[in-house]
C-alpha cells in the first residue's frame, strides 16, 4: 500500500498541464454531481423526472449500459488466455480495471434510483427472496465483481514480477471463466429480469437475454478500442499493434452484425404485430424517442460501413470513429429500452406517461461518470500496467493508422 501511495504522489507531481486540465474538468462535473446528489437526498425523487408511473428512467438506462460495458470488457482476457492472442495482453489489466469501475458505477446508479441507498445495499441479501430474479441479479453483481477483483490482483502481481506458476494458472482460468459468467449469468439474468415482466409488452421477449449479451460484447469491444487509442496518445507509443486494433474492429463488426438483426426484428414485430402494446411502442420509437432511434440505427449502420471498408479498417481515426458511434448506438438502444418500456401504459384507460430526465438527473449522471473516469485515470498511473513490459522501441500509431517514431530534435514526427 505504501508503494502504491508513493506511486500515486509521484504521478500527480509529474502531471502535465493537459492532465491538470483533464482532472480539473472532471472535478467540475463531480462537484455538480455532488450538488445534484444533495438536492435529491433532501428533496427526494420529486426533483427528478421519475414518477410512480415511470419509476425507471435515466439512472436505470445508464446502469444497464455500464453493466454491459463491464461484461463486454472480459473479451480481452478471453483473447489473451483462451485463444493465445498475446498481442491483446497489454490491454488485459486495463480491461479488468474498466470492468470493475463500470460495474461499481452501474451499482451506484441503482442506489441512486432506489433512493434509499442502505436498502439497495442490504435488502437484496439480508431480506432475500429465493424466488425473485432480483435476488439472483444482485448476487451476480457481487460474484462478478469478485471475479474481476481477483483477476486484477493476479494480473498486477504478474506485472510486478511476483507471480508464481500457480498464480498464473489461476489468473488464466479466472480470465476465461469471466466471459461465460458475464454473458450468461450477469447479462442473462439481467435480460430475464426485464423479459419476465409480462405486463410490459416492450420487454416481454425471450430474445432479450441474448440481446443483452450481444449488446455487451459490442459496447465492451468498442470501449477497449477507444482505451487502446487514447492510451497510445497519452503514452507517446502504441499500446497494441495496428493489426490488433484491426482485429478488434473485425470483432466489433461481427458483434454488431449479430445485434442488428435482433433490433430489426424487434422493430418489425412492433410495427406489424397489430397489438395495442406494439402499436404504442412503435409510436414512441418513431415519435418522441425518434432521436434516440436514429442514433441507435444510424450508429450501427455507420459503424458497419466503416468497418467493412478494408482501407478504413486499417486507419486509426476511422477505427476510433466506428467504436465511438457503435458505443453511442448501444447507449441509445439501452435508453429507449428502459424509457419506452416504462412509458407504455399498463392498462388501456391509463394515459401515456412521457418521461424526460430532469437537470438533477443529468448532473448526477455526469458526476458519477466523471468520478469513474477520474478513478480510472488515477489507478492507471498507480497500478502497474502490463504494457510496461512491452518493447520500449515500439512506435505509436498516428492519426492515419501509420506508425511514427518520436523525434528528439524538436522536429515533427516522421510519417
pLDDT tens-digit series, residues 146-205: 999 999 998 888 877 787 888 888 888 999 999 999 999 889 888 888 887 776 777 878
Mean pLDDT within 228-240: 87
* pLDDT-derived band at 53, boundaries 50, 70, 90: confident
Task: Tell me what pLDDT residue 112 has.
Answer: 87
Please, is 10 exposed, middle or buried when counting C-beta atoms within 10 Å of its C-beta (0-12, 13-18, 19+)? exposed
Domain boundaries, the chain: 50-356
Task: Tell me what pLDDT residue 96 has.
Answer: 93
Enter the C-alpha cell of residue 309.
Answer: 471498408
Task: Tell me what pLDDT residue 400 has.
Answer: 40
Long-range contacts of 284-289, Cβ-Cβ distance < 8 Å, separation of 24 or more? 284/340, 284/343, 284/344, 285/336, 285/340, 288/343, 288/354, 289/336, 289/339, 289/340
* pLDDT-derived band at 347, boundaries 50, 70, 90: low
Say which CATH topology domain 50-356 has. Answer: Formate dehydrogenase/DMSO reductase fold (1.20.1630)
Residue bearing the bigger pLDDT, 293 or 388: 293
Least confident of 51-60, 128-137, 242-251: 128-137
- Residue ranges in 14-132 assigned as alpha helix (H): 17-43, 58-72, 75-77, 92-114, 117-126
**Model confidence, pTM:** 0.85
Mean pLDDT across the chain, nearest whole number?
A: 82
Enter the C-alpha cell of residue 408.
Answer: 528528439
- Summarised one tens digit per residue, pLDDT across range 378-399 is 999 888 876 544 444 444 444 3
Task: Tell me what pLDDT residue 267 has.
Answer: 79
d(CA 33, CA 107): 16
> Which letter does DSSP use for residue 310 in this model?
T
Question: Contact, 67 vs 102, CB < 8 A?
Answer: yes
Task: Tell me what pLDDT residue 101 has.
Answer: 96
d(CA 11, CA 51): 45
Task: Tell me what pLDDT residue 136 has.
Answer: 81
Question: Contact, 128 vs 135, CB < 8 A?
Answer: yes
Task: Tell me what pLDDT residue 349 has.
Answer: 61
Residue 129 exposure: Cα atoms within 13 Å on the Cβ side = 5
Amino acid at each position: 500500500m505504501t508503494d502504491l501511495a508513493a506511486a500515486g504522489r509521484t504521478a500527480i507531481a509529474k502531471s502535465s498541464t493537459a492532465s491538470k486540465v483533464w482532472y480539473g474538468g472532471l472535478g467540475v462535473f463531480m462537484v455538480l454531481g455532488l450538488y445534484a446528489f444533495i438536492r435529491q437526498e433532501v428533496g427526494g425523487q420529486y426533483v427528478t423526472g421519475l414518477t410512480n408511473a415511470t419509476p425507471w428512467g435515466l439512472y436505470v438506462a445508464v446502469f444497464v449500459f455500464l453493466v454491459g460495458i463491464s461484461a463486454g470488457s472480459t473479451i480481452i482476457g478471453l483473447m489473451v488466455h483462451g485463444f493465445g492472442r498475446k498481442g491483446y495482453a497489454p490491454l488485459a489489466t486495463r480491461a479488468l480495471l474498466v470492468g470493475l469501475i463500470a460495474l461499481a458505477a452501474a451499482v451506484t446508479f441503482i442506489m441512486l434510483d432506489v433512493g434509499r441507498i442502505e436498502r439497495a445495499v442490504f435488502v437484496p441479501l439480508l431480506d432475500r427472496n429465493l424466488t425473485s430474479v432480483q435476488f439472483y441479479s444482485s448476487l451476480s453483481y457481487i460474484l462478478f465483481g469478485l471475479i474481476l477483483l481477483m483477476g486484477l490482483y493476479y494480473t498486477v502481481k504478474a506485472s510486478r514480477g511476483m507471480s508464481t506458476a500457480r498464480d498464473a494458472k489461476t489468473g488464466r482460468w479466472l480470465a476465461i471463466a469471466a466471459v461465460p459468467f458475464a454473458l450468461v449469468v450477469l447479462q442473462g439474468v439481467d435480460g430475464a429480469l426485464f423479459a419476465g415482466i409480462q405486463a410490459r409488452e416492450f420487454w416481454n421477449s425471450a430474445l432479450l437475454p441474448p440481446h443483452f449479451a450481444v449488446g455487451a460484447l459490442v459496447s465492451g469491444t468498442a470501449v477497449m478500442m477507444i482505451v487502446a487509442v487514447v492510451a497510445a496518445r497519452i503514452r507517446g507509443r502504441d499500446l497494441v499493434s495496428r493489426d490488433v486494433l484491426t482485429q478488434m474492429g473485425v470483432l466489433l463488426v461481427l458483434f454488431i452484425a449479430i445485434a442488428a438483426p435482433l433490433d430489426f426484428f424487434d422493430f418489425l414485430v412492433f410495427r406489424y404485430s397489430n397489438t395495442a402494446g406494439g402499436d404504442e411502442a412503435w409510436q414512441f420509437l418513431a415519435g418522441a424517442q425518434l432521436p434516440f432511434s436514429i442514433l441507435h440505427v444510424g450508429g450501427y449502420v455507420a459503424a458497419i460501413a466503416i468497418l467493412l471498408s478494408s482501407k478504413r479498417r486499417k486507419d486509426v481515426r476511422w477505427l476510433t470513429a466506428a467504436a465511438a458511434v457503435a458505443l453511442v448506438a448501444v447507449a441509445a438502444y439501452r435508453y429507449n429500452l428502459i424509457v419506452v418500456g416504462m412509458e407504455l401504459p399498463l392498462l388501456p384507460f391509463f394515459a401515456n406517461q412521457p418521461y424526460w430526465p430532469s437537470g438533477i438527473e443529468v448532473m448526477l449522471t455526469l458526476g458519477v461518470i466523471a468520478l469513474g473516469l477520474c478513478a480510472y485515470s488515477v489507478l492507471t498511473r498507480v497500478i502497474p500496467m502490463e504494457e510496461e513490459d512491452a518493447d520500449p522501441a515500439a512506435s505509436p500509431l498516428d492519426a492515419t493508422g501509420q506508425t511514427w517514431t518520436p523525434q528528439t530534435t524538436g522536429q515533427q514526427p516522421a510519417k
